[in-house]
Chains A and B, each alone.
Chain A
Amino acid sequence: MTPDQIVALLAAAVTAGAPLIYAGVGETLAERSGVLNLGVEGIMLVGAVCGFAVAVATGNPWLGALAALGAGALLAAGHAVLTVTLGAEQVTSGLALALYGTGLSAFLGKPLIGVPNPAPFRAFPVPGLGEVPVLGPILFRQDALVYLSYGLALATWWWLARTKPGLHLRACGESPEAADAMGVNVAAMRYGAVIVGGALAGLAGAYLSLAYTPAWTENMTGGLGWIAIALVIFSTWNPLRLLGGAYLFGAVDALGFRVQLLGVETSSILLRMLPYLFTLTVLVVITVARRQASVPAALGRPYFREE
């Protein structure tokens, strides 16, 4: 590959990584607060269809993104009621949400199949930074949602590690008893984390239908929601490592695409399996290498006082 091709590949990796960053950061927030949300895939699909519908109706992609945030928050709020207030099994509730979201998006999206998106997010270079060699085309000639995605990962890392609410959130996921005894409202923190996390998953879906593809097709996430959950584990619940993981996945994804363009004789279906196979491999390696994973100690455990 020529240097230009490598730069193009890396730029494609950053683009393909964006939805994983949104969904992964959202899931990281929920899990750091102690709530597992396996509904990411379903929320992404509903976010994609709602964002697309609103963008088509209004002609404004930002309103579409806003609608996706709202739809994601709403679905996640249901998960929060079930798991935080009622103490339901988080795995079951999350799986139900994933299935429900998939079905709901297919139903809502029926009339939108084949409709062109009149107003997708378009790439624009950041003045100045876009002209920097190598880094410019990779990071700074993207669309607005990509710029926001890596900004969000950095901001979330800083917020978790360096601010008081971040400390409270982490404590809720490690020891809700300790947080409660120190006057932290555990339920409120968990509701907040799950709802914001769901909103971000919705936005991740909208990125696909408003910028990446940009159109609505049924099941267009193709398992990215599950990959995002795997990446959260791969990144050991750290948004900075998540950023790296998302770009790695994006690069493998883009590489598969390019191998086809280079005319290598191979099945396209086989190539599309590549990123998933890669994720599995990385997960196995990480799990074996780090026996003592840094999983939040209270992940999956509901908290009630007087028990």
Chain B
Amino acid sequence: MNGVTAGRSSHPPPEAGAPNGAPLLALRDITKRFPGVLANDRVTLEVRAGEVHALLGENGAGKTTLVNVLYGLYQPDAGEIVVDGRRVRIRSPRDAIACGIGMVPQHFLLVRRHTVAENIALGLPQEGLLRPARRVERRIVEFATRYGLTADPGARIWELSPSEHQRVEILKALIRGARILVLDEPTSVLAPQEVSGLFDVLRRMKGDGHAVIFITHKLDEVGAIADRVTVLRRGRVVATVPAADVDRRALVQMMVGRDVESTLPRARAAAAGEALAAEALEADNDRGAPALRGLTLAVRRGEIVGLAGIAGNGQRELVEVLTGLRRAVRGRVRVLGRDVTNRTAAAICDAGVAHIPEDRVHMGVVATMTVAENLVLRRYRHPPFARGPLLDYDAIMRFAREMIAAYEIATPAATTPVRLLSGGNIQRLILARELAARPGVIIAAHPTSGLDVSATEHIHRLLLRRREEGAGVLLVSEDLDEVLALADRVAVIFRGRIADVLPVGDATPERIGLLMTGQAA
């Protein structure tokens, strides 16, 4: 069961293309504390020129903290950084860039209203004072051709897709002379086909002798691109091993510290009757441009429909129209047989729709209010929580304690402000509130994004249980694995329309990928 030691004895470390000798980059005993958390505990990491080094760990394992220390965004409390055999102090991103370190962060740091060239020229040394964007264009084209990173220097960032944003970030780092490139969860914004494009780019960089640090929590990617992998758990290094020597199970074991059921128990629930229907919906986005262009979709009782698609194809607008947060210009919305088109959010909620919003901290809870208050946000107006105009805090506290136990919400007390809870516990709280009333329809937007393996597993089980009890679930997710694991049918959204709906048995990642990018009818 321990694939690490077994693997070591059977294979020599595969380091094809990697020159031997001193590492290009070494982080030694890096420690970083935040109030109440030891985010990095004596982390040591060595990366060689010409290797892709995966940094694997659950959310909260300390991966992002570590690379933020490397990039000068955080100052470590202890430890040293060695680049090319020389000890360096990295106090700011400027120092990191000077050391040849480049970063492609998870949330892209681009100026949305500026052009690609302006973003790349920003802060670039060695250029003249005038027309910085014009001067950098030639180099953009040169690097873009060399690494297969097509980009239009004159395009504005807000016009581009997430995968194009990523290319701009990579170009930014390469043009600054980065020899060590850090990519923080780079595949989370990409469609399957785009992932293989990114891997091609990384292989070319590897061939040029660059070192790539590739942060991920997806196990398949480790095998597909990494030469070596370092696993972090709770701020500590578990092991660094050649990627070819470990199997999936061993990696999960290192990452989580125990075995995790990889298949969810799933009864074949019989779907029957309409739970939720959208008919020829049209709606605009925040900028007033059409976002939904005649979208039709139905969810039956007792089934989970997964909505797959690349971010920005109308998912957010669809969820908002269905939950009463955005006006539909045309089309109808039906919930459990009742027309609720353009009714208020409260009316739709009373009609039996639960909403697990995308932005859990801002939309899902009132962060400064207590756990108990947040748990009754949906129903405080009605008995038993309200008596006339007054709130019955005894009833509220009783209900809160029940929910905290039933949904395993880790909180010091029912009176703790929600802002002090972790993301996973905030999400459990939202699920407790939304599901306790046994809604007939559940609309869940990215319910597990950013959550660790155990919280994700818990939330998946809750959704499956409601489905067995007869609720219709619309699951919007950018994580294709999640959609395929939970959904009975997969709907693919592209440019505001449903490109196709497939039974989960027919939905292969390749087929969905083609639909997501509009390449299949």
Contacts and interface: CB of A to CB of B under 8 A. Distances in A.
A141 interface: no
A181 B103 contact: yes
Contacts of B127: 164
Interface stretch (A67-75, A262-270, A272-280, A290-298): A290-298
A178 interface: yes
A292 B113 CA distance: 12
B305 to A, nearest CB: 34
Given A291-B288, A292-B287, A181 B118 contact: no
18 contacts: A164-B129, A165-B129, A167-B133, A170-B111, A170-B114, A171-B111, A174-B114, A178-B111, A178-B119, A181-B71, A181-B93, A181-B103, A182-B93, A182-B123, A183-B125, A292-B288, A297-B112, A306-B73
A45 B114 CA distance: 36
Interface residues of B, number: 32
Contacts of B172: 182
The 8 A-B residue pairs with the shortest CB-CB distance in the complex, in nearest-first order: A182-B123, A183-B94, A178-B109, A183-B123, A164-B132, A181-B109, A174-B111, A182-B122
Interface residues of A, number: 24
Nearest to A173: B111
B74 A306 contact: yes
B280 to A, nearest CB: 26
B110 interface: yes
Contacts of B390: none
B93 A175 contact: no
Interface in A281-306: 291-292, 294, 297, 305-306
B121 interface: yes
A171 B73 contact: no
B209 interface: no
Interface of A: 162-165, 167-168, 170-171, 174-175, 177-184, 291-292, 294, 297, 305-306
Contacts of A178: 109-111, 119, 122
B1 interface: no
Contact of A167 (B73, B97, B103, B118): B118
B129 A171 contact: no
Contact of B113 (A167, A174, A177): A174
B382 to A, nearest CB: 38
A297 to B, nearest CB: 7
Interface of B: 71, 73-74, 92-94, 97, 103, 105, 109-114, 118-119, 121-125, 127-133, 172, 287-288
A170 B131 CA distance: 14
Contact of B123 (A168, A170, A291, A294): A168
Contacts of B123: 168, 179, 182-184
Contacts of A174: 111-114
Contacts of B133: 167
Contacts of A184: 122-123
Given A164-B129, A183-B123, A175 B110 contact: yes
A171 B110 CA distance: 9
A167 B93 contact: no
A171 B122 contact: yes
Contact of B97 (A162, A170, A183): A183
Contacts of B74: 306
A175 B111 contact: yes
B232 to A, nearest CB: 20
Contacts of B131: 162-163
